[in-house]
Structure 1
Amino acid sequence: MTSILLPLQLQALIGLEHRQLSFIAQAVTLAIEKEAKLTIAITCEEIKSNLQCIDAIWEKIQALLGALYVVQLNTSYQAQKPLFNCNVVFQDICGYPIHFEPYIIAVCIVEQDKEKVNTWNTERAESPLQCCILTDNHDDKHTNLIENTGPIEPLVFNRAAVGGTFDHLHAGHKILLTMTAILSAKSMVVGVTDDCMLLKKKHRELIDSTDKRVKAVQEYLNLAKRTIQYEVVPITDPFGPTVTDPTIDALVVSKETLKGGDLVNNERDMRGYPPLELRIIDVISSENASVQGKDMDVLKISSSWIRDYIAKNQPRSTS
């Protein structure tokens, strides 16, 4: 599926400008009209200066991701398109120039930046980008992100892991996968819950197959970061590779699955492996009421909610 690109440049991870919030809403609306996806490409000086230890800005990045997806989802819901597909990519981390990707067909940009698109198009001679001009009627005062303390001593992780069902990839999944990818310096392991463990799930018939969910995760990670190796594997127990692979040094969990991380470390201890450092994604937890004044409940969209939505809206058989 084709995608529209929205480049956003930040100096620091202290918040989004009001005009940038407007740009996101405009770009979502345009992409929906064109029946395309939206790719938001973030460049940020603070990220560049911390590339050797992303752990130092862990909370700031996940808060920014939460804020971006909140704006996108609220706009999508208002347009009655709750399943609209949007991806946030960090240009300083992903390892490739997003504007050269063949699936990008148009770019949303302000009038004064049109020359940048013209430069890109000289290198995309056979598939030039359409230029969509954004309306810019806002001031540029920042709105603060959530304040978090972060790890006392930031660490560098060579091989981080994360697990989940990853059915019908949504914003929560993308935050988990993105944060794990940018935390990993060399490689990343993703455990995808196998079909055999999902037999009691509601609307089981609408759950994508294990192979399809594995492929969806692989495709998303290729978008998020191309400079590390990925292992996306089915798991038939709650632990997967986290208790059999001694080279894993970090595990990314949500507030809701933190106890599972503790169980992993208990199991590793019994096997003589060192404990994993746990890093928590808390922007998708109900304990955070808002990001930049925006209701965070919108990020609580779940795979079960999506299956309910599909079941209620799919065409009924007339046979």
Structure 2
Amino acid sequence: MSTVLLPLNVKRLNALEKRQSSFIEEAVVLAIKRQTNLVISISCDEIKAHLDCIDAIWEQIQALLGAIYVIQLNTSYRLDRPLFNCNVVFADVCGYSVYLEPYIQTVCVSSENINDVQSSQWETYLLTNDSQTELEDDTDHMKPLVFQRNTGPIEPLIFNRVAVGGTFDHLHAGHKILLTMTALLAKQSMVVGVTDDCMLLKKKHRDLIASTQQRMENVKAYLQLVKRSITYDVVPIKDPFGPTVTDQNIDALVVSKETLKGGDLVNSERERRKYHPLKLRIIDVISSDNASIQGKDLTDLKISSSWIREYIAKNKIDNKE
């Protein structure tokens, strides 16, 4: 499907320019009107400086990622398009030039970078929500991110192989943050456990859940957008552990706050098998019990596969996944 691209150069991970928030909203509106997807490509000098150990800026990246998705979701819901597809990638990490991807049809540009992205390959769209930010006071110019808990490591570590698991039905912002943060941590490889169909028989609207194979393919396709420099093992799992208790080469496990206890159980089982424990890294955004991001109550964001299935069922939308 043709895609609108919005490149953003973020100066500091813990702050987002006001006009860049407006750019995100405008790009979402444009893509929805044109019935296309949206890719937001983030570049940042802080990320470049920590490519050898993303773990050192774990909190800042996931806070920024969560804030961007909240802006996108708010705009999508306002336009009554909750299933709108938007992907956020990090240009310094993804391992390819997003500009050269064949699906890019339109690139959104601001007045300051229009000369940098002119090409006959795609259409350029001049963002209208631009402003003379160099005249603004820095306090007004930057919009601070809200991040309330400290889940980062005391001593940043490098992980060669990182694991994550989930159902990954109807990939939404929460899934994308989980998969993205795991891929960013992994130096060499990543293993993804996808819950098998046999474990989902009691789910509501079971008929709207894609097959295990299709969900695995969706995860693989998404990860190719996120980071192409590492290898991915995407496997079905029929128990709560999957490869985390059989693969001795895994270094770390990424969990959400809701699945943290599951991570502890994994390490208990690994200890029983005399394997080294996995370092746990916690996703602390886009979560049902997290207070807010950018002042927005996340319970209003309707980010869950069950909500999406309910929405599809009520609106009689074709389940194409």
Range into which the TM-score falls when normalised by the shorter chain: over 0.9
- Equivalent residues of 1:53, 1:154 under 8 A apart: yes
Give 5+ residue unaligned stretches, structure 1: none
Q: 2:125 aligns with which of 111, 132, 155?
A: 132
Shift of 1:218: 0.1
Shift of 1:2: 1.3
**Structure 1 counterpart of 2:95:** 95
CA distance in 2, matches of 1:155, 1:265: 18
Give 5+ residue unaligned stretches, structure 2: none
**Structure 2 counterpart of 1:239:** 241
CA RMSD of the aligned region, Å?
1.4
Q: 2:182 aligns with which of 170, 180, 183?
A: 180
Shift of 1:265: 0.4
Matched, 1:51 2:51: yes
**Structure 1 counterpart of 2:10:** 10
- Equivalent residues of 1:158, 1:187 under 8 A apart: yes
Q: 1:275 aligns with which of 274, 277, 282?
A: 277
Q: Identity rate of aligned residues, in percent?
A: 65
4+ aligned runs moved over 6 Å, structure 1: none
CA distance in 2, matches of 1:88, 1:116: 21
**Structure 2 counterpart of 1:308:** 310
**Structure 1 counterpart of 2:293:** 291
Distance of aligned partners of 1:300 and 1:194 in 2 relative to their CA distance in 1, 3 Å threshold? same
Shift of 1:143: 1.5
What is the one-letter code of the residue matched to 2:92?
D
What is the one-letter code of the residue matched to 2:69?
Y
**Structure 2 counterpart of 1:85:** 85
Question: Cα deviations across residues 252-306 of structure 1 (Å, max 9, x unaligned)?
Answer: 0000000000010011011110110000001122343222223333555111100
SS in 2 for 1:172: helix
**Which stretch of the first structure deviates more once superposed, 220-229 or 129-138?**
129-138
What is the one-letter code of the residue matched to 1:34?
R
Question: Cα deviations across residues 191-218 of structure 1 (Å, max 9, x unaligned)?
Answer: 0000011000000000000110000000
**Structure 1 counterpart of 2:153:** 151
SS in 2 for 1:238: coil
What is the one-letter code of the residue matched to 1:221?
L
**Structure 1 counterpart of 2:164:** 162
Distance of aligned partners of 1:8 and 1:164 in 2 relative to their CA distance in 1, 3 Å threshold? same
SS in 1 for 2:258: helix
Matched, 1:249 2:242: no
Question: Cα deviations across residues 32-73 of structure 1 (Å, max 9, x unaligned)?
Answer: 001000000000000000111000000110000100000000
What is the one-letter code of the residue matched to 1:160?
V
Shift of 1:138: 6.9
**Structure 2 counterpart of 1:32:** 32
CA distance in 1, matches of 2:248, 2:56: 24
Distance of aligned partners of 1:76 and 1:214 in 2 relative to their CA distance in 1, 3 Å threshold? same
**Which stretch of the first structure deviates more once superposed, 8-17 or 180-189?**
8-17
What is the one-letter code of the residue matched to 1:59?
E
Shift of 1:315: 6.1
**Structure 2 counterpart of 1:229:** 231
- Equivalent residues of 2:146, 2:295 under 8 A apart: no
What is the one-letter code of the residue matched to 1:154?
P
**Which stretch of the first structure deviates more once superposed, 301-310 or 283-292?**
283-292
**Which stretch of the first structure deviates more once superposed, 134-143 or 69-78?**
134-143
Paired residue total = 309
**Structure 1 counterpart of 2:265:** 263
SS in 2 for 1:112: coil
Shift of 1:151: 1.2
CA distance in 2, matches of 1:300, 1:248: 33
- Equivalent residues of 1:18, 1:138 under 8 A apart: no
Name the TM-score, length of structure 2 as normaliser: 0.93
What is the one-letter code of the residue matched to 1:251?
L
What is the one-letter code of the residue matched to 1:130?
E
What is the one-letter code of the residue matched to 1:52?
D
Shift of 1:110: 1.1
- Equivalent residues of 2:74, 2:301 under 8 A apart: no
- Equivalent residues of 2:286, 2:303 under 8 A apart: no
What is the one-letter code of the residue matched to 1:292?
Q
SS in 2 for 1:94: coil
SS in 2 for 1:252: strand
